């Protein structure tokens, strides 16, 4: 009887665990730390902003950008910064962006500095934020991981975007922090032309 009791108790615990925590564990599984493991960045060296998935992605066509994101990208240049709480390379990138005067605050509640007032930052705690799931739109499934950085803007009904996975350290096709600033400036030029927003 003791064994049966143990079995029933563990089955109840397991069922409760699956019911309440399956999605969280799945999000954690997807939010694998790129820096820790050398995940393929799935990024092409930045030349122009993309409309469709570039050839390095497994997916093709125009990404199904969520409507809230399209709305936000109409107003301003949007940067999505996907990070994870225990992700060391995410921390490295955040600190480097902070040092370069791009962002202020912490990963949890950071924003762009006044120099980048034309842009809006969504710093997304990928496994725990309800917006975290959209990371899969901007990386292929097995390339998904933190940190991932996405820059988007809308112009004449078209969403232009650029994404890279892994720390912005200039390696593996990824931009370094100075190139990241250039990409944001380029986005501003593309969206607003010579006009200040």
* Backbone phi, psi, residue 21, to 5°: -120, -5
In the region spanning residues 51 to 80, those forming contacts with another protein, defined by CB under 8 A, are none
Dihedral sign from CA coordinates of 121, 52, 71, 76: positive
Mark out the alpha helices in the chain (DSSP H runs): 2-30, 34-37, 67-75, 88-99, 135-138, 177-192
- Eight-class DSSP state of 150: E
CB-wise, 132 or 160, nearer to another protein? 132
> Can you read off the two tokens belonging to residue 140?
């292929």
Stretch in the footprint of another protein (CB under 8 A) among 37-45, 48-56, 73-81, 108-116: 37-45
Rule CB under 8 A: say whether 18 interacts with another protein: yes
Rule CB under 8 A: say whether 92 interacts with another protein: yes
Q: Kindly report the three-state secondary structure assignment for every residue of 90-120.
A: HHHHHHHHHHCCCEECCCCCCEECHHHCCEE
Which contiguous run of DSSP H or E holds residue 79? strand 77-83
Give the separation between CA 156 and CA 51, rounded to whole angstroms: 12
Rule CB under 8 A: say whether 95 interacts with another protein: no
CB-wise, 73 or 125, nearer to another protein? 125
Rule CB under 8 A: say whether 169 interacts with another protein: yes
CB-wise, 38 or 195, nearer to another protein? 38
Q: How far is the CB of 90 from another protein (least distance, A)?
A: 10
The residues pairing with 150 across neighbouring beta strands, listed in sequence order, are 80, 163
Q: What SS3 state is found at 172? A: coil
Among the listed residues 22, 51, 106, 115, the single contact to another protein using CB under 8 A: 22
Rule CB under 8 A: say whether 47 interacts with another protein: no
Q: How far is the CB of 52 from another protein (least distance, A)?
A: 22
Rule CB under 8 A: say whether 39 interacts with another protein: yes
Give the separation between CA 197 and CA 191, rounded to whole angstroms: 9
In the region spanning residues 115 to 134, those forming contacts with another protein, defined by CB under 8 A, are 127-128
Q: How far is the CB of 109 from another protein (least distance, A)?
A: 17
Contact residues for another protein (CB under 8 A)?
Answer: 1-4, 6-7, 9-18, 20-30, 32-41, 85-86, 88-89, 92, 127-128, 141-142, 144, 166-167, 169, 171-173
């Amino acid at each position: 009887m003791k064994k049966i009791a143990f079995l029933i108790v563990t089955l109840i615990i397991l069922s409760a665990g699956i019911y309440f925590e399956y999605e969280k564990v799945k999000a954690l599984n997807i939010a694998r730390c790129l820096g820790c493991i050398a995940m393929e960045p799935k990024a092409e060296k930045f030349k122009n902003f993309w409309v469709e998935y570039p050839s390095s992605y497994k997916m093709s066509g125009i990404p199904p950008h969520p409507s809230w994101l399209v709305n936000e990208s109409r107003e301003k240049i949007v940067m999505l910064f996907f990070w994870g709480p225990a992700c060391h390379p995410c921390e490295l990138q955040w600190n480097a962006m902070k040092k370069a005067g791009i962002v202020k605050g912490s990963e949890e509640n950071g924003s762009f500095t006044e120099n980048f007032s034309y842009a809006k930052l969504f710093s997304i705690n990928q496994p725990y934020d309800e917006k975290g799931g959209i990371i899969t739109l901007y990386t292929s499934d097995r390339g998904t991981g933190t940190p991932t950085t996405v820059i988007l803007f809308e112009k004449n009904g078209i969403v232009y975007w650029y994404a890279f996975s892994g720390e912005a350290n200039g390696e593996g096709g990824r931009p370094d922090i100075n190139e990241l600033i250039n990409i944001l400036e380029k986005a501003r030029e593309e969206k607003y032309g010579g006009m200040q927003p």
